[in-house]
Chain A
Amino acid sequence: MSRSSSLVVGVDIGNSTTEACAALLREDGSVEVVGTGLAPTTGTKGTPPNVTGARRAVRRALEASGRRPEDVDRVLVNEATPVISGVAMETLTETIITESTMIGHNPQTPGGEGLGVGTTTAFAELDELDAGAEVIAVVPHGVDFEVAAAGLRAAQERGVELRGAVVGADDARLIANRLERPVPIVDEVTHVDRVPLGMLAAVEVAPAGRNVRTLANSYGLATVFGLDAEQTKLVAPVARALVGTRSAVVVRTPAGDVRDRRIPAGSVTFAGERTTVRADVGDGAAELMRALGRVQPLQDAVGEDGSHVGGMLATVRETMADLTGEEAAAIRIRDVLAADTFVPREVRGGLAGEFALEGAVALAAMVRTSRGPVEQVAAALREDLGCAVEIGGVEAEMAIVGALSTPGTSTPVAVLDLGGGSTDAALDPGDGTPVRTFHAAGAGDLVTKLIQSELGLDDLEVADAVKRSPLAKVESLFHVRLEDGGVVFYDTPLPAEAFARVVALADDGRMLPIHTRHDMGRIREVRRDAKRRVFVVNAVRALEQVAPRGNVRQVDFVVVIGGSALDFEIGDLVAERLAEHGIVCGTGNVRATQGPRNAVATGLVLTHARAVAAAAAEGQAA
C-alpha cells in the first residue's frame, strides 16, 4: 500500500450493534470510504468482551475492498457515554378468586342458551337425586359426550330439574344437542374438579354474538342468589370480571369472593440539582414523568426500600457497579422513562385459566458513570488487532458529524439516535458553542417488552418480530390480507396450522404466526402505541433537553439515526409528532448511501481526516 494514504477504521460500539467504517485517508485530507461492516455487539457496551464484535465489524468493513486487518493503520473508537438501561414491569393490580366462586371464560362453543340456577352436583351422583331437585351438573374430564348426554337425559326423565351443566371437555354443543330440553352448558373448564359441590350456582350462556347479561350485573347476581345490599357489594367485582364474556358460571360459596387487589408498588424519589420530588408508582406513568420533569436535570433516582421499584432500581445500579468496578453507592441514575401498560395474567384461583388485564407500569432506567471502560476496550482492541487504537471522539459529536453527511442537512441540527437501550439527542447549535447532549432511558428493548406483555406472548422472539414487521392475516390457505388492506394470493396452500392466524411478515420473507386471541387491528394498535409511548415521548423529551431554552421550535433540522430508525414506522411516528413544531425531521442517509446506519463510525473517520488535514496545513505554513 502506498504511504501517501493510510487505512483508518472507525468503530462504533453500540448497545446491540457494532458498526465499522473503513476509509483511505490521503495526505491532501481527502477521504475514500472503502467499506462498512456490522456485527452484533458482544458483551455489555463499554466492556472488554466488546473486542470480539469489534473485530468482526472491522473484518467485514475490510472484506468489501479485499484488505486485511494487518493493513489497518489506525482504529478509532468512540467515547461512549456509558449508559446502560434496565427495563422492569410492575404490576399494580391483581385479581384473586377465593374459594372458586366464578368461571368467566369464553369457550368457543358453549352449549344451550339462557340462565340456569341450581345446586352443583357431581355427574356420577345424578342418579341419587329425587325428582324436583334443581341442579347444575358438573361433568368431569374423560366422560364421553354420549355418556354425559344420556346421563343428563335420564335425570331429566326422572323429573330432576336440570338447570345447566359445567363440563371439562370441549363437548358443550354435542351434549346440548342430545338433550330433549337443552340447558346452558359451559365447557372447556380446565379445573372442573375444583368446582365446589353442593353449592348454589348459576350458569349463563348468551346467544351467539351477545354477552352474558344477568351474571355480569351486580343486581342480576343479587336477584339470582337473593343477596342483601351488603352482600351485593361483595359480589360486585364478580359481575365486573364477567363483563364481555359470552358464557359464565358463578358459584355461591360461604366465603367466596373475587377481589381486585392493589399492590403497593412503592415510590420513586427523584433528586435534581436543587429539589427532590417523590412520586408514587401506583399513580401511573404520567405522574412519575411530571415529577421527573420538575427536577431536571436528574441527579439520581431512588426507589423505596423493600418495594418492587426499589429492587428494580437497585439492580440497575448493581449491574453498572459490576461493569465499571465502581461502588454501587457511587452510581447515579440519570434518567427514567415510565409507561403505563397492562399485563394479562392468569387469575389466581380461576377454574378455567381465566385471564384478567392487570394494570402495570413499565420503567426504563439509565445510568451514567465516569469514563473508564472505553479505555479498557481500546487497550484490549489494540492487543487484538496489533495496530494503533485510539479514542477518536465523543459519541454524540461523532454522530452529528456523520449525520451531517446526509444530503440536505445543515446546522443548527439535532441528531436523534434511536437505539436499543436509550434514545439519545445531540444538538449542534452551529455557532461554535459546544454540542449539547441528552440520553433518555428507554428505546427498542422497552418497546419489545411492552408488546410482549400487552399481547401476552410467551416468546420474546415473536414480540421482537411483531415490533419489526408489518402484519397479515391468513384468511384462507391460498391468500393473506395485509394490515394495509392489500391481499396476496398463492397457488400452493399455506400451512393449515397458520389458518386464520395473524402473522408477522419478517424481513427474511418468513411468516411468524402470533399466538394470541387478539385480532390484527388490535395487535397493530398495541405495536404502534408501544412505539409512541417510548420513541415519540423520548424524542420530544430529549429534544427539549438539548434545544435552546428548552424550545423544540428553535431546532431547524432533526436527523433520525440508529438501529431503531431502520424500523418501518418509528421514523414516521416521530416525524409526525415533530411536524407539529414546524421542524424538518427525517431519517438520516449517512454519506448518501448508508441510511440511518454508520453515522458514528463515519463521524470518527471524517473527524480524524479533518484533524490530519489541519495538521498538514499547519506543517506547510510553518
Chain B
Amino acid sequence: MSRPTPPAVVLAVGADADDAALAALRAGLEEEGVPGEVRPTRDPADARTAASASKLRLGVALDARLAVLDVRRDAAAAPGPGVLQAPADDPAALRALGQDAGRMAKGVPLRRGRVAAFHPPTPR
C-alpha cells in the first residue's frame, strides 16, 4: 500500500528536458512556498494528466521545448493547450511560470501582466 502523498504541484518532466529549466520552474514554486513533485514522464506534453495526479489540481509539463501549466478538468473537457506556457530556453519566463503555478495554488493573483476587459465563456 502506498503512503498518502502530500499536496503538491505535479511537474511532469520529459527525458529530454533541460535541468536548468526544471530548476527555474522549481525556484518559482519555492519562492511562493508551494511544494512541487517531479515525476519523470514519457509524455511530457500532457500537463492535464499531471494536473489530474496533483492534489493541488495543478500540473506543469516540461520538455526540451516548452513548459505548460494546466489545471485539473473534467474527463469530458475538450483538449487544449493548457492555461499558461513558457519557452524552455527562457529561465525568467520559467521562473515566472513556476511562481504563477504557486500563486494559483494559493489563490492569489498571478505575477503576469494585466488583462483587459474580456467576455467570459457561457456559464454552465
Contact = CB atoms under 8 A, between A and B. Distances in A.
Given A496-B83, A500-B103, A491 B117 contact: no
Contacts of B84: 496
B108 interface: yes
Contacts of A304: none
B107 A489 contact: no
B121 A495 contact: no
Contact of B109 (A172, A177, A500, A510): A500
B123 A490 contact: yes
A180 B77 CA distance: 46
Nearest to A497: B115
B104 A499 contact: yes
Contacts of A477: 71, 83
B113 A497 contact: yes
Interface in B87-124: 99-100, 103-104, 107-110, 112-124
Contacts of B27: 145, 174
A497 B103 contact: no
A174 B31 contact: yes
Contacts of B124: 489-491
A12 interface: no
A417 to B, nearest CB: 30
Interface stretch (A289-297, A328-336, A511-519): A511-519
A490 B123 CA distance: 5
A300 interface: no
B117 A177 contact: no
Given A170-B31, A513-B114, A493 B120 contact: no
Interface string B54-87: 0000000000000001010110011000011000
Nearest to B78: A492
A501 interface: yes
Nearest to B110: A499
A496 B100 CA distance: 9
B91 to A, nearest CB: 10
For chain B, what secondary structure do more than half of its interface residues adopt (helix, strand, loop), or is it mixed?
Answer: loop
A515 B114 contact: yes
B108 A108 contact: yes
Nearest to B112: A497
Contacts of B104: 496, 499-500
Interface in A448-506: 465, 475-478, 480, 488-501, 506
Q: Which of A174, A488, A491, A494 has the most CB of B within 10 A?
A: A491
A497 B31 contact: no
Contacts, number: 91
A477 B2 CA distance: 31
Contacts of A491: 74, 77, 121-122, 124
B26 to A, nearest CB: 10
Interface centre among A108, A475, A509 (most CB of B within 10 A): A108
A79 interface: no
B117 A173 contact: no
Contacts of A495: 115, 118
A136 to B, nearest CB: 21
Nearest to A208: B33
A496 B118 CA distance: 12
A509 B112 CA distance: 24
Given A499-B104, A500-B108, A174 B121 contact: no
B18 interface: no
A409 interface: no
A511 B117 contact: yes
B119 A496 contact: no
Contacts of B37: none
Given A174-B31, A497-B115, A511 B108 contact: no
Given A498-B118, A512-B117, A493 B83 contact: yes
Interface string A392-410: 0000000000000000000
A434 to B, nearest CB: 48
A109 interface: yes
A113 interface: no
A536 B9 CA distance: 50
A174 B30 contact: yes
A246 to B, nearest CB: 13
Nearest to A145: B27
Interface of A: 108-109, 145, 170-174, 177, 465, 475-478, 480, 488-501, 506, 509-513, 515
24 contacts: A109-B33, A170-B99, A173-B33, A174-B30, A465-B117, A478-B71, A478-B73, A490-B124, A491-B77, A491-B124, A494-B118, A494-B121, A495-B118, A497-B110, A497-B113, A498-B118, A499-B104, A500-B104, A500-B110, A509-B119, A509-B120, A510-B118, A511-B118, A513-B116
10 shortest A-B CB distances, which residue pairs?
A: A497-B115, A489-B124, A492-B121, A512-B117, A500-B109, A510-B117, A496-B83, A490-B121, A488-B123, A173-B31
Interface of B: 27, 30-33, 69, 71, 73-74, 77-78, 83-84, 99-100, 103-104, 107-110, 112-124
